[in-house]
Amino acid sequence: MSAIKNLMTKFDMKISIAIVGLVNSGKTEFVKRILQSDEFIAASVSNTAEFELQILDNFSLLTWDLDDHIPQKKTLWKRSILGANALLFLVDSTNKDSFQQNRKLIKDLVEKNFPIRLLVLSSKSDLPNSASVGELMTSLDLMGLDKTKCDVDLFKFSSKTGEGLYAIEEWLNRILFKRRERVINYTKIVACVTLCEESGAINEAILTETPNLTLLATLRELRRKVTIFSRTMRVHGSGEKIIEIASFKIPIVKEHRHIVALVVGPHDSVPRSIEISRNVLKIISPYCDKSLNLVKIIRDLYPLDVIY
């Protein structure tokens, strides 16, 4: 079960998420990544080929194909899309010719439809020709939008690698269930495993002073999982995955030819753990064939996140 689907079906309340964007912006792939099953019921509305609806119990996913304008005068648009609990706008990050059109649509959406919160997703971020977050922020002029009308966030997303999925989950958790973030969500880093795909070298660090048999067994299994992840993701330049072993949550992150798996507590923030993993990757990437002191690197970078 995907993280988002698990979140939506965990609470006894009706929830609807609207997903809009141009044709081929990645909406269908995004929905498939969330559903990951045939349990949903597909519903259709006559004479509205641009609109699709997927339903599971109290959870609904609404998608709408946009063209050159926002259909704000359509009753179905007002009731379904603008009436949803959360609104997501997908942009194909590889189709830079569409950025100007997406910019106009987002501006019209904010200025004429007044959504309270909007999440823009940069889809297909695993492809080599995808635009960076900075390039999209500029091209879509997200900073120039009227903040008094709508708060806008931007995340990268890949339906193939899962990049961004857990950041989206936490955004939805915050928006839908009004869960306030702490100023800093410190994690409890227990251990770390790295792999360099060029040499096949695996490095390991235990951050706690009192490792138990459960942790040692977890690390043994994690080395196997990281090797499998490397083989699966070999054709992709980056990606991320979250696994659970014993009582630990483990984000596995790949950038270029390096992989970091961070062993953290079961209730720790996934986005922060992924951020820590990416920063560790930046430090270790030039030293693929050299032995590094991972314990010192992590403790120096994140002294308040380490369990002593």
Asked if residue 46 belongs to a domain, the reply is yes
Does 182 map to a domain? Answer: no
Distance of CA 20 to the CA centre of its chain: 17
267 lies in which domain range?
191-305
Same domain, 197 and 89: no
Distance CA 226, CA 155 (A): 25
Q: Are residues 136 and 28 in the same domain?
A: yes
User: Is 167 found in the same domain as 35?
Assistant: yes
> Do 281 and 225 belong together in one domain?
yes
pLDDT recorded at residue 182: 43
Query: Among 174, 160, 305, 170, which Cα is nearest to 241's?
Result: 160
Are residues 101 and 34 both part of a single domain?
yes
Question: 16 and 154, same structural domain?
Answer: yes
Q: What pLDDT shows up at residue 239?
A: 84
Whether 138 and 217 share a structural domain = no
Tell me: do 32 and 167 sit in the same domain: yes
Domain count, the chain: 2
User: Residues 154, 265: one domain?
Assistant: no
Contact 207, 149 (CB under 8 A): no
With a CB cutoff of 8 Å and minimum separation 6, the contacts of 32 are 159
**Pair 208, 130: CB distance under 8 Å:** no
pLDDT of residue 183: 42
For residue 218, the model assigns a pLDDT of 95
294-301 and 270-284 helices, crossing angle to 10°: 120
Strands (E), 28-150: 41-43, 51-56, 59-66, 86-92, 117-123
pLDDT of residue 257: 87
Question: Which of 177, 208, 226 is the last residue in one of the domains?
Answer: 177
Q: Has residue 185 been placed in a domain?
A: no
Indicate whether 186 belongs to any domain.
Answer: no
Domain-located, residue 184: no
Choose one of 147, 177, 207: the last residue of a domain. Answer: 177
Half-sphere exposure (Cβ direction) of 282: Cα atoms closer than 13 Å: 7
In a shared domain, residues 201 and 271: yes
Give me the pLDDT at residue 4, please: 67
**Which ranges of the chain have pLDDT less than 50?**
1, 44-47, 180-183
User: In terms of domains, do 72 and 107 share one?
Assistant: yes
pTM confidence score: 0.63
Q: What is the CATH number of the domain that holds 229?
A: 3.30.450.70
Asked if 198 and 173 sit in the same domain, the reply is no
Q: Looking at residue 8, which CATH number applies to its domain? A: 3.40.50.300
Q: What digits encode the pLDDT tens for the residues 26-68?
A: 998 888 887 765 555 555 444 456 788 877 777 888 899 999 8
